Amino acid sequence: MVGQPAGLARVRAGMERRYAELREYLESAMTRQASALLISGAEKYSGVPLTTLYFGSGNHLEYVLGLLFREYRVVEEHRHLNAWQARRWVDGYRNKVDLVTADLPWPYHRVLAGRGMLEAPAWVNQKLQLPETWDGVLAQLRSSARGEDLRKVRKHGLDYRIVHDEEAIRRFYDEMYVPHLTNRFGGAAYIEPEWRVRYCAESGALMQILRDGEVVAGQVLFGNRQSLQSLWTGTSGGEFGQQSQGVFPALYYFGLLYAFEGGYHEADYCGSRPLLSDGIFQLKRRWGGQVYDGWSRDTLFFLPTNLGQGNLSFLSHHALIARCRQDLVGKVFLGTEPIRPADVVRVEQVYSTTGLRAIKLYSLQPPSPEALDAARATPGIELVDLSGEAQAAAAYCRR
């Protein structure tokens, strides 16, 4: 509204935000609509044929298909189903496909929970607790962040400023945030509505990353009690071009500095996909992010019904983060290769993350005595021998 005082506009935006979030939550709980898709295609890495049943809300369909296939076609499509029918569809197709997948919001995920499927939060949260000294903050970062990443920030002369004006926020949304997500995730991108981004930037802060006075990236920071959330990020000039050199380390470094100087007790890096090998997950890990469950109301389920070449390739290329009772664990599948001491060392160095109860290494071959010794000497690493399992695929999900 033209001429509306800034304070009233902010109050109105806040009321709109709370109403929309409540509506979104209730719709998630009340909507029973689901679809079942029988899909056939070429597995993403091996190219061998793979068939899957997808049952779910569709919230993460593009993401799941992106994990599984390089190309695919929908063989059967059943729409307007009841989400409570998930168990019937899963049981009806488990002997007809290579892989059963499900994508269910709360509370419908309870239909499949604890029934032998690998259960993963659709998103995990990563946060860093902030001690009282800056040296204490830096000590929690990986050496790669303190060394390589900070050198990039200095080398490219990056700096930051905080802005709140409407035009800057609009340009961030249209020219950085939306293009960044669509370029990176394609059809699997979830674009937040502009009103939500605008409200959080106006109530919190828009941090602009500068190179020679030019804005090359930005992020929306929003304080929530003792925590500063880094909600949405965007870059200009493409994600991997010359413009992006050092930009992502700068976003994390200056965001962390801003949280510390603002007296916050926690830097919240927000959601990441439940993959230990995911690039965003790894970047947040470098910057000290501890893993938490509960950020997403949606749950993904996977049930390989065999360990043919397609499923072997899918599982070996995706180190999934899964729920194990009240904890989170990492699942690293080595396929038909025996576990070696070098595998234990590599997994600990590359994947070990605070917040995971354990990282489990699975193999269809018995581990060597040397590998067992290496695992016993490495806290948080567990070896799982599937060689004696009559149903190794089910054991992978269960154990």
Q: What are the pLDDT digits (tens) for 358-372?
A: 999 999 999 999 999
Task: Flag whether the pTM goes above 0.75.
Answer: yes
pLDDT at 187: 76
pLDDT at 13: 53
> What's the CA dihedral at 320, 298, 129, 192 to 10 degrees?
110
Once rounded to an integer, what is the mean pLDDT over residues 264-274? 96
Once rounded to an integer, what is the mean pLDDT over residues 203-210? 96
Query: Does an H or E element contain 171, and which?
Result: helix 166-172
Once rounded to an integer, what is the mean pLDDT over residues 270-284? 95
Angle at 20 between CA 14 and CA 24, to 5 degrees: 145
Sheet containing strand 327-333, edge to edge, reads 320-324, 327-333, 358-363, 381-385
pLDDT at 105: 95
Given CA atoms 382, 287, 122, 273 in this order, what sign does their dihedral have? negative
The Cα 264–Cα 224 span in angstroms is 9
Between 282 and 184, where is the model more confident? 282
Lowest-confidence pick of 105-114, 185-194, 341-350, 374-383: 185-194
**Which residue carries 């190179």 as its tokens?**
211
Pick from 242, 245, 236: which is nearest to 215 by CA?
Answer: 236
pLDDT at 57: 94
Confidence grade of residue 183 (pLDDT, cut at 50, 70, 90): confident
Residues with Cβ within 8 Å of residue 390, at least 6 apart in sequence: none
The Cα 226–Cα 265 span in angstroms is 5
Pick from 106, 103, 84: which is nearest to 37 by CA?
Answer: 103
E strands, 61-171, where? 69-82, 99-105, 118-121, 124-129, 158-163
Once rounded to an integer, what is the mean pLDDT over residues 280-288? 96
Once rounded to an integer, what is the mean pLDDT over residues 152-179? 95
The Cα 93–Cα 305 span in angstroms is 10
pLDDT at 27: 53
Side chain identity at 304, as an amino acid letter?
P
- The yes-or-no verdict on residue 164 having pLDDT over 50 is yes
Residue 108 DSSP code: G
pLDDT at 31: 56
The Cα 156–Cα 332 span in angstroms is 36
Quick: pLDDT tens for 68-127: 999 999 999 999 999 999 999 999 999 999 999 999 999 999 999 999 999 999 999 999
Quick: pLDDT tens for 56-73: 999 999 999 999 999 999
Can you state the angle between helices 341-351 and 369-376, rounded to 10 degrees?
A: 30
Pick from 293, 258, 3: which is nearest to 125 by CA?
Answer: 293
Once rounded to an integer, what is the mean pLDDT over residues 168-179? 96
Confidence grade of residue 186 (pLDDT, cut at 50, 70, 90): confident
- The yes-or-no verdict on residue 244 having pLDDT over 80 is no
- The yes-or-no verdict on residue 265 having pLDDT over 50 is yes
Structure tokens at 177: 């945030």
> What's the CA dihedral at 334, 340, 344, 346 to 10 degrees?
-80
Confidence grade of residue 189 (pLDDT, cut at 50, 70, 90): confident
The Cα 309–Cα 46 span in angstroms is 8
The Cα 33–Cα 83 span in angstroms is 6
Residues with Cβ within 8 Å of residue 352, at least 6 apart in sequence: 359, 380, 381
pLDDT at 14: 54
pLDDT at 2: 37
pLDDT at 272: 95
Quick: pLDDT tens for 17-46: 555 555 555 455 455 899 999 999 999 999
pLDDT at 185: 81
Between 337 and 299, where is the model more confident? 299
Lowest-confidence pick of 22-36, 214-228, 277-291: 22-36
pLDDT at 3: 41
- The yes-or-no verdict on residue 146 having pLDDT over 50 is yes
Report the chain's mean pLDDT, rounded to a whole number. 91
Lowest-confidence pick of 24-33, 140-149, 163-172, 250-259: 24-33
Contact (Cβ atoms closer than 8 angstroms) between residue 298 and residue 103: yes
The neighbouring-strand residues paired with 84 are none
Sheet containing strand 158-163, edge to edge, reads 158-163, 205-211, 214-224, 227-235, 266-272, 124-129, 290-292
Give the Å distances, CA to CA, from 14 to 82, 122, 220.
34, 27, 16
Side chain identity at 197, as an amino acid letter?
V
